[in-house]
Amino acid sequence: MAHTGTHSQPVRSCLLLVVVSVCVQQVHGVWPLPQQLHQSADRGCLSPQRFSFTYGRDSAAQTGCSVLDAAFKRYFSIIFPDFTKGSENRLQYVWSEPQPFVVSVSVKTGGCDGYPDEDSDESYNLSVSEGQAVLRSVTVWGALRGLESFSQLVYQDDYGSYFINKTEIVDFPRFAFRGLLLDTSRHYLPLHAILKTLDAMAYSKFNVFHWHIVDDPSFPYQSRTFPDLSNKGAFHPFTHIYTQSDVMRVIEHARMRGIRVVPEFDSPGHTQSWGKGQPGLLTPCYKGGVPSGSFGPVDPTIDTTYKFMESLLKEVKFVFPDSYVHLGGDEVSFACWQSNPNVRKFMEKMGFGKDFTKLESFYMESIMNMTAALNRTSIVWQDVFDYHERIPQDTVLEIWKGEKYQAELSRMTQAGHRVLLSAPWYINHISYGQDWRNSYAVQPQNFSGTEEQKKLVIGGEVAMWGEYVDATNLTPRLWPRACAAAERLWSNEEKTLNADLAFPRLEEFRCELLREPTVASESLTVWHQEEVTDLTALYKSNRQEVLQDRDTQSQEWTIRIKTQGL
């Protein structure tokens, strides 16, 4: 059996608390709640020096599996957060030789160098008994979920000793898409804040990072094809951008935690920052028959718009490996289009009359067809469906509006579309007290429709919009409030409807989140040229070109560390 080489620590003893005649038998919960969980009051003591992860002999993945090798190291630090090499010198009362404890991990398929996708199997079985735990899964992604559950089963007593109860878990997610949206346009989020969020997502078993990377206020994505988009559209062309290396860093950090990265480039609205670096893209607004000097949404009447969008989407496919891309399509103001005489002429020519929803439909249908031609699946906001647009059948619709989302779920699924629910989980809105209970009470499939319709609800996501959120308040606003949706999207709904019963587990999980090591921020300080070069191996074939300018980008990164104090 192959062991990771990181845990061969000197042996020390496990403290026996003789002063307590009967130990309190503590059974700890897991968040989100597994589908099946059986625990015994019997428990064993764990010693960091005698603890190890290993690959099962029948496992398709063995030593050298990038995802699991890194996970073993990461979870050792998570399970034993207080452990240091000098900790054996602490004063102890009574000593006893500790027993070894081995966590054996077996997966049926390899896939260590791939990316999680919409069809990834995240199921796992975990059996904890005396001196060992056996974790079995179909994929490495399921193994990651099992390791997370195992880490939450370990607890400390008041004297600092580590314990775990005998446990049997059979687990799998209720929904395949469990997302979290970050808005990096309204307030720029430094890289360490994004990576830290990915860490917390993994603890809660979220598996999709919806990166709302650009919007009206700023365009921080540094495009290789159109560099002026960030040069002129970002809050600052140097300190407030995401270089190609930054994006790759996020994608790789997410991959190692079984998280997909789905980018959103929202258009034709929400594009004011685009126009600064791409003249002619936005519609000129008119007042009194003459241009007013202001601009509206993307101009859907000219060929250059579609050539630009096609080039941008090709780059997005090149940079982001996930099969999904979010195209937006929401909140398009028609006032500027109405004021522009060229747009009105185009409307007349196309037979749209004065119905500007048809103009938006014309644009969105063209963009969705481009995405399909690139072998990517489009996600669009519900506005696109509400305007009765001709939507490709495999397009995923996302509901974001108001309290009447059940009726929208019925209409969309009746039309045969897959749906994501986000409307009840806009947690950038805050209220006094335990507002997580509102998120916890959501029932995503509680709408009028057939069982086949309800199967078309593929999941949902928490949205953290950035009007009033930046790196200073992102983490406390997200966690543990987002955990309520995490459990709703993973766990059996019938077993998790009672928020009062869930509260003790959530309270405990919040404490665990506070204790987790800050892997993201620590690793960021050593992100330099050699590591950028190392990433080349991760992006084979056509992805090699992304790092052509790695030397320049590494120099930029060094300066950014100094200027931003990361």
Indicate which residues carry an active-site annotation. 331
Question: Under DSSP, is residue 180 helix (H, G, I), strand (E, B) or coil?
Answer: strand
- Sequence-distant (≥ 6) Cβ neighbours of residue 300 within 8 angstroms: 268, 359, 360, 362, 363, 366
H/E segment holding residue 460:
strand 457-464
Examine residue 81 and say whether the peptide bond preceding it is cis (omega within 30 degrees of 0).
Answer: no
Residue-by-residue DSSP string for 411-449: HHHHTT-EEEE-GGGBTTS--SS-THHHHHT--TT-SSS
Contact, 382 vs 399, CB < 8 A? yes
Instruction: Please name every residue paired with 135 in a beta bridge, in sequence order, or none if there are none.
Output: 105, 126
Comparing CA positions, the residue from 450, 454, 482, 455 lying closest to residue 178 is 482
Kindly state the DSSP code that residue 537 receives in the 8-state scheme: G
* Structure token pair of residue 352: 């749209």
Examine residue 268 and say whether the peptide bond preceding it is cis (omega within 30 degrees of 0).
Answer: yes
* Structure token pair of residue 121: 């199997």
Contact, 344 vs 356, CB < 8 A? no
**489, amino acid identity:** L
Torsion angle of alpha carbons 314, 320, 324, 328, nearest 10°? -70
Contact, 423 vs 383, CB < 8 A? no
Q: How far apart are CA 412 and CA 382, in angstroms?
A: 9
In this structure, how many other beta carbons lie within 10 angstroms of the beta carbon of residue 398? 29
Comparing CA positions, the residue from 400, 531, 538, 394 lying closest to residue 465 is 400
